């Protein structure tokens, strides 16, 4: 196909707005599917994973395609649930256009602002479809007014005929034709005269859209100002240019579940949304010089594209989902991964149609295909030719916000679990897997509770591994607050054979926070032979691993080894090592020992009306607000320092405080002393947990 006969579009919107149902409706109307799939009864061809069917939500971006009026349209159906919005962002990154679906009953939801910001940041031409016009309390005018609050200039192209249960069709304001749809969900329409009670409003709205179309092109504006009527073709041309440049957003309406207005929506996608060439040249980076490279979106250009998703298929193995930006790809070839600097031999190429795969003989710019057998390529990588290397920047994946310790229910699965998690991370790069070096726990981090739960379910379904989750242990440290000079310990043991004897003299002093451990050998004279010094130092390093208060690592401490005693026969490296450990423990206990807790720096972005509640909540968690500044779109960004122990499940609480409109990130900042009023309880708790673990 010629490039301009190819369009691709990511369908985005709030969870529950009917994105997947709308995708099912247009696929069925275009005869790309044989029946109208429904999310509620599990028959959707796009929500096909068991975890999606169970929850009735989209968890992963799904792909399909259709042909409408000689134009191939590639559809990416994206998740709307907050936990899976990073997946939506990755899909939007490679799409040429966005179709945003809104609920006519409740158009403004927590995810609306987040998803619309993604579309805006990526500079995507967009269209809005106000869905569920057949539902009780559905209100088209109110929904359009709501769109304006997002800083969008909406241009209605449809008007509803009938309201709520009586909704039965639309007025197409470009053609000035009215259509009533069959009640059987077939998508078939009958053209009727515009109802008399809608004629005046339709005339006003059509005048509005013509004005918007005219302002996009000087020649059309001149005609408009002279009072010359614009033809439908001129109106479409002006609207397309305005949409492409982001000057305004066309608004359609209908009912996905009843398949009302899907043919008209497809007309808008084909007529108004730009294809690869209309979107213009594609900018990338030279892998060697990092200078800008321009790639032409033509079928005879050098091949290039982004892998924006990876699937682990039980039959086909790994599938890399590629958006082609330039060139033509045919089966069984070699592509160059410019990120990893390796050639990748691949096999067949497919179009994904839900969970089905359709082999194709070639693919060109704008198309989205699946490639098999790539060994090293991961999500976010650029594929191109070695002769014309390019790197396309990918999206920044937000850090995870909820972490659990994970362990298998069956001991035999301990080794298997890390392999399984690695494979799941290939499919889902928003997961973070690591082993805590201090606690030894295997940690899994995700974007929320549902994200973690879905991952655990996949582990069992796909790989037969059952696991248990627990909140991670906080990596506390022990330290001292005072110096202890002249600490002496003698290790003496007399048994049947050779005895053990060693005596060490230490000065133990605190160091500044974050300094770690310092050992000073300050021996004079020959009381201790120097060959025993390494054994003393080795003993100290062993003692640092388990402090005397709660068995935690000891930090920020200096030991000065200045004297001791030895025995010609009974002294040994082992004896001096034991003496060093015991002397260290004795000295620490006498030097005002305490526990340090990790403090995290949090950056929290919230709506204005939630500032008071969030700051009050942070104060209740022993947090300190360090600053606040204006964010985007009338939001506030709070910076705070908070003990890690107080915010392990903060994502759930922030959602409750902000009705799901808040976001945050956090990173370990430093360690601080645990307040005295909490110290004894904390030590008792840690020792109790350690006792259970040892049993």
Q: Which two tokens stand for residue 301?
A: 């250009």
CA distance 571 to 491: 10
3-class DSSP assignment, residue 278: helix
First to last CA, the chain: 68
Domains 402-470 and 595-678 share a fold: yes
Predicted confidence (pLDDT) per residue in 424-464, tens digit:
999 999 999 999 988 889 999 999 999 999 999 999 998 88
pLDDT of residue 462: 87
The enclosing H or E element of 276 equals: helix 276-279
What's 529-581 look like in SS3?
A: CHHHHHHHHHHHHHHHCCCCCCCCCECCEEEEEEEEECCCCCCCHHHHHHHHH
Q: Which two tokens stand for residue 456?
A: 């655990």
Q: Is the pLDDT of residue 601 over 80?
A: yes
Assigned CATH class of 282-384: mainly beta
DSSP 15-28: TTS-HHHHHHHHHH
Predicted confidence (pLDDT) per residue in 250-283, tens digit:
999 999 999 999 999 999 999 999 999 989 999 9
pLDDT of residue 27: 97
Give which of 311, 362, 367 is closest to 96, Cα–Cα: 367
pLDDT of residue 376: 94
Q: Is the pLDDT of residue 619 over 50?
A: yes
Name the percent of the chain lying above pLDDT 90.
79
pLDDT of residue 142: 94
Q: Is the pLDDT of residue 315 over 90?
A: no
CA distance 447 to 614: 20
Q: Is the pLDDT of residue 110 over 80?
A: no
CA distance 658 to 499: 69
294 close to 218: Cβ distance less than 8 angstroms = no
Q: Is the pLDDT of residue 109 over 90?
A: no
Predicted confidence (pLDDT) per residue in 318-334, tens digit:
899 999 999 999 999 99
Q: 10 Å Cβ neighbour count for 361?
A: 8
76 close to 91: Cβ distance less than 8 angstroms = yes
Architecture of domain 595-678: 2-Layer Sandwich (3.30)
Burial (CB < 10 A; 0-12, 13-18, 19+), residue 479, is buried
Assigned CATH class of 402-470: alpha beta
pLDDT of residue 493: 86
- 366 vs 316 pLDDT, higher one: 366
Name residue, tokens 């909704």.
167
Q: Is the pLDDT of residue 314 over 70?
A: no
| CATH topology (fold) of 3-279 | Rossmann fold (3.40.50)
Give which of 102, 154, 99, 149 is closest to 126, Cα–Cα: 99
**Cα radius of gyration rounded to whole Å, the chain:** 33
Give which of 548, 545, 518, 552 is closest to 671, Cα–Cα: 552
pLDDT of residue 151: 87
550 close to 525: Cβ distance less than 8 angstroms = no
Helix axes 218-225, 196-215, angle to 10 degrees: 130
Predicted confidence (pLDDT) per residue in 180-233, tens digit:
999 999 999 999 999 999 999 999 999 999 999 898 888 888 888 877 888 888
pLDDT of residue 50: 87
128 close to 119: Cβ distance less than 8 angstroms = no
pLDDT of residue 1: 46
Q: Is the pLDDT of residue 527 over 60?
A: yes
CA distance 88 to 58: 10
Domain ranges for the chain: 3-279, 282-384, 402-470, 478-591, 595-678
Count of CA atoms in the C-beta half-sphere (13 A) of 312: 15
CA distance 52 to 560: 62
Q: Is the pLDDT of residue 4 over 70?
A: no
Q: Is the pLDDT of residue 552 over 80?
A: yes
pLDDT bracket for residue 155 (50, 70, 90): very high
Predicted confidence (pLDDT) per residue in 371-427, tens digit:
998 999 999 999 999 999 999 999 998 889 999 999 988 877 888 898 899 889 999
393 close to 337: Cβ distance less than 8 angstroms = no
Which backbone phi and psi does 79 adopt, to 5 degrees?
-70, 155
pLDDT bracket for residue 496 (50, 70, 90): low
DSSP 204-240: HHHHHHHHHHHHT-HHHHHHHHTTPPPPHHHHHHHHH
Cα-Cα-Cα-Cα dihedral sign, residues 451, 452, 453, 455:
positive
pLDDT of residue 316: 63
pLDDT of residue 532: 95
Architecture of domain 478-591: 2-Layer Sandwich (3.30)
Cα-Cα-Cα-Cα dihedral sign, residues 25, 310, 87, 7:
negative
Of the listed ranges 67-81, 302-316, 548-562, the one predicted with least confidence: 302-316
């Amino acid at each position: 196909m010629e490039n301009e006969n190819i369009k691709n579009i990511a369908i985005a919107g709030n969870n529950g707005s009917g994105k997947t149902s709308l995708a099912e409706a247009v696929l069925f109307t275009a005869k790309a599917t044989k029946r109208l799939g429904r999310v509620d009864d599990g028959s959707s061809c796009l929500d096909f994973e068991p975890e999606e069917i169970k929850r009735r939500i989209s968890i992963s971006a799904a792909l399909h395609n259709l042909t409408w009026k000689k134009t191939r349209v590639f559809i990416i159906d994206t998740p709307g649930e907050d936990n899976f919005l990073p997946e939506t962002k990755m899909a939007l990154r490679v799409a040429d256009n966005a179709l945003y679906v809104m609920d006519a009953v409740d158009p403004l939801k927590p995810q609306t602002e987040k998803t619309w910001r993604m579309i805006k940041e990526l500079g995507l031409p967009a269209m809005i479809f106000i869905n569920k016009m057949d539902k009780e309390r559905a209100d088209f005018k109110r929904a359009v007014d709501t769109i304006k609050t997002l800083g969008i200039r909406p241009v209605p192209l449809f008007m509803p005929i009938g309201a709520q249960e009586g909704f039965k069709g639309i007025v197409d304001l470009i053609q000035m034709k009215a259509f009533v749809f069959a009640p059987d969900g077939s998508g078939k329409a009958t053209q009727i005269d515009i109802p008399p009670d809608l004629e005046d409003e339709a005339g006003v709205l059509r005048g509005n859209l013509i004005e918007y179309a005219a302002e996009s092109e000087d020649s059309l504006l001149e005609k408009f100002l002279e009072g010359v009527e614009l033809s439908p073709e001129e109106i479409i041309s002006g609207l397309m240019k305005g949409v492409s440049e982001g000057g305004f957003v066309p608004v359609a309406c209908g009912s996905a579940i009843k398949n009302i207005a899907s043919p008209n929506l497809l007309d808008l996608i084909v007529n108004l949304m730009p294809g690869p060439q209309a979107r213009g040249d594609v900018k990338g980076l030279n892998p060697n010089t990092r200078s800008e490279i321009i790639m032409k979106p033509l079928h005879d250009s050098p091949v290039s594209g982004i892998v924006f998703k990876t699937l682990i298929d039980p039959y086909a193995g790994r599938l890399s989902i590629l958006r082609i930006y330039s060139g033509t790809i045919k089966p069984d070839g070699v592509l160059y991964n410019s990120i990893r600097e390796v050639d990748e031999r691949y096999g067949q190429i497919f179009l994904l149609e839900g969970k089905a795969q359709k082999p194709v003989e070639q693919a060109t710019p704008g198309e989205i295909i699946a490639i098999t057998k790539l060994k090293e390529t991961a999500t976010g990588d650029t594929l191109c030719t070695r002769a014309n290397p390019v790197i396309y920047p990918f999206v920044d994946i937000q850090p995870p916000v909820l972490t659990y310790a994970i362990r298998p229910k069956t001991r035999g699965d301990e080794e298997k679990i890390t392999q399984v998690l690695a494979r799941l991370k290939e499919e889902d790069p928003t997961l973070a897997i690591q082993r805590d070096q201090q606690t030894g726990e295997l940690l899994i981090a995700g974007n929320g509770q549902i994200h973690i739960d879905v991952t655990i379910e996949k582990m069992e379904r796909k790989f037969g591994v059952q696991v248990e989750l627990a909140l991670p242990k906080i990596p506390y440290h022990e330290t001292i607050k005072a110096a202890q000079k002249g600490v002496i310990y003698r290790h003496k043991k007399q048994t049947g054979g050779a005895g053990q004897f060693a005596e060490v003299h230490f000065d133990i002093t605190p160091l500044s926070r974050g300094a770690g451990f310092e050992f000073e050998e300050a021996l004079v004279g020959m009381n201790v032979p120097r060959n025993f010094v390494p054994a003393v130092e080795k003993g100290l390093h062993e003692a640092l691993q388990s402090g005397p208060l709660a068995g935690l690592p000891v930090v920020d401490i200096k030991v000065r080894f200045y004297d001791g005693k030895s025995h010609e026969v009974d002294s040994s490296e082992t004896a001096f090592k034991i003496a060093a450990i015991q002397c260290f423990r004795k000295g620490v206990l006498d030097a005002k020992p305490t526990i340090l807790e990790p403090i995290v720096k949090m950056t929290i972005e919230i709506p204005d009306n939630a500032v008071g509640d969030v700051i009050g909540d942070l104060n209740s968690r022993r947090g300190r607000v360090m600053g606040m500044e204006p964010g985007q779109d009338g939001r506030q960004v709070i910076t705070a320092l908070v003990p890690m122990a107080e915010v392990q499940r903060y994502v759930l609480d922030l959602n409750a405080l902000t009705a799901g409109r808040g976001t945050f990130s956090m990173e370990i900042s430093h360690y601080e002393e645990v307040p005295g009023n909490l110290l004894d309880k904390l030590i008792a708790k840690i020792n109790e947990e350690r006792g259970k673990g040892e049993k």
